[in-house]
Structure 1
Amino acid sequence: MDIDYPERLDRLTSFFRLIWILPIAIVLNVLSAYTSQTVRTVTDNAVTTTTTSGGGIAAALVGATLLMILFRKRYPRWWFDFAREFTRFSARVGAYLFLLTDRYPSTVEEQSVHLEIDYPDVEQDLNRWLPLVKWLLAIPHYIVLFFLGIGAIVVWVIAWFAILFTGRYPRPLFDYMVGVGRWALRVQAYAFLLVTDRYPPFSLR
């Protein structure tokens, strides 16, 4: 993943970024959010509570892909294409939220966020049993990304003030944010998109 470095950023849209992003963030949330619904049924002598849960399209696709690799050793191309385009869309929203670009996230165009994921040859490249434990093997990355995420929030606040005063995103801070995004993407590709069995490196590059 790479993001074009902006020479200048708009101070007004940066100031109101958390408001401007709401419409497209709602779209992203509808596709990816986990939902839960509780229904209470009252009878003569008792109250019965039933909870039903479900994920968005993207969450369901992870489970479906795992089962397909496990039982059929296949990764349908159209599933991969959807997962890749959804990941690209998410990256554009994230880049806009974290002030890395002024371009409002498109649901179609690449814009300034460049992200490529290779389509796997399941028979040659993937172990059919590994998807069952990849999420567990990636735990060290979750821990590191937690602390990198805290750093990203601090950088976000500093960059927000820098943009308001100078109209520029300090390059070292920009590179850090892009690096965190790359790291998270590699973990996502390994543990959730299931497109590779190569363990992600611990690197911002």
Structure 2
Amino acid sequence: MEVLLMPPDPYPVTYDVAYPDRELNRLTTFFRIFTVIPIAIVLGTVSGATWSSTYEGTTTYGAAAGGILFGGPLLMILFREKFPLWWQEWNRQLLGFSLRVGVYMALQDDRYPSTDEAQSVALHVPEVDAKEELNRFLPLVKWFLAIPHYIVLAFLWIAVFFVLIFAWFAILFTGRYPRGAFDFVVGVERWHVRVISYALLLVTDRYPPFALKP
């Protein structure tokens, strides 16, 4: 008797970056660490960044409003079994924006990051009905359950750092991002996005896979 094996359901959060099958801008690649600064400042103003400065013995502190909404959704899911869609949309849009800035910084796209257009980033974060799809108590421990992922990702991001140095030289000399290096960086980013979606965005109770591929 023939046994048919059903393929596993895909993870509800998906992420990909279109490979730039063309010559990339070598000048902006060379100066990428500087050209990214303006949009990084914009991102910081909406992502809850904090800063301090000291001048003549006086320290000034500052903070930007916004950031990923975590505490509010956690309490709403726990006590009311609700997760307002506009909170989900804020998190989704902020994550997409930060990913576009990250993709630009990682040399994966030479187009300047847009604040609202997807560009080369394909991100899908599902809308969820907290009462029907989420365990109300799980958000209390997701951050703890994700610790093994944090450890693995720490080593993977170190590897990404060296891959980006290699890609930087490759683009300067050939104009092309080596496909193997590109796919590895996208894989680490995908892994990172899944963990964030599980532990911080709280849009799924499905534990992230230990995998670079979709």
TM-score, with length taken from structure 2: 0.85
Residue 148 of structure 2 corresponds to residue 140 of structure 1: yes
Counterpart position of 2:130: 122
Aligned 8 A contact 2:47 2:94 in 1: no
Q: What is the distance in 2 between the residues matched to 1:142 and 1:112?
A: 26
Residue aligning to 1:42: none
Query: Quick one: structure 1 residues 142 and 173, their matched pair in 2 at CA, closer, same or farther if it must change by over 3 Å?
Result: same
* Partner Cα separation in structure 2 for residue 34 and residue 17 of structure 1: 21
Aligned with residue 29 of structure 2, among 14, 18, 22: 14
Find out whether 1:3 has 2:11 as its counterpart: no
Give the conservation status (yes or no) of the 8 Å contact 2:24–2:171: yes
- How high is the sequence identity, in percent, across the aligned residues? 56
Which amino acid in 1 is paired with 2:29?
S
Indicate the residue corresponding to 1:179 in structure 2. Answer: 187
Contact in 1 for aligned 2:45/2:64 (Cα 8 Å): no
- Output the CA distance in 2 between the equivalents of 1:15 and 1:36: 28
1:5, 1:175 → 2: CA distance?
8
Q: CA RMSD in A?
A: 1.8
Q: Are residues 1:155 and 2:169 paired?
A: no
Between stretches 11-20 and 24-33, larger displacement belongs to 24-33
Q: 1:80 to 1:152 in 2, by over 3 A?
A: same
Q: How far 1:33 sits from its partner (Å)?
A: 3.8
Aligned to 1:23: 38
Instruction: Specify which of 68, 91, 103 is matched with residue 83 of structure 1.
Output: 91
Q: In 1, distance between residues paired with 2:144 and 2:151?
A: 12
Runs ≥4 residues deviating over 4 A? 52-56
Deviation at 1:56, TM superposition (A): 4.4
Structure 2 equivalent of residue 100 of structure 1: 108
CA gap 1:36/1:170 in 2 versus in 1, 3 angstroms: closer
In 2, Cα distance between equivalents of 1:62 and 1:36:
21
2:73 aligns with 65
- Which letter maps to 1:32? S
Instruction: State the aligned residue count.
Output: 191
Give the letter for the 2:32 counterpart.
R
User: What letter is aligned with 1:179?
Assistant: G
Write the distance in 1 (CA, Å) between the matches of 2:187 and 2:176.
19
Cα distance, 1:35 vs structure 2: 2.8
Q: How far apart, in 1, do the equivalents of 2:117 and 2:64 lie?
A: 26
Higher helix share: 1
The separation in 1 between residues aligned to 2:64 and 2:145, in whole angstroms, is 23
1:75 Cα deviation from its structure 2 partner = 0.7
Query: How far apart, in 2, do the equivalents of 1:196 and 1:98 lie?
Result: 27
Q: How far apart, CA to CA, are the structure 2 residues paired with 1:105 and 1:36?
A: 23
Q: Which segments of 5 or more consecutive residues in structure 1 lack a partner in the other structure?
A: 38-51
TM-score w.r.t. the length of structure 1 is 0.89
The CA deviation string for residues 35-58 of structure 1, in whole angstroms up to 9 with x for no partner, is 377xxxxxxxxxxxxxx9977412
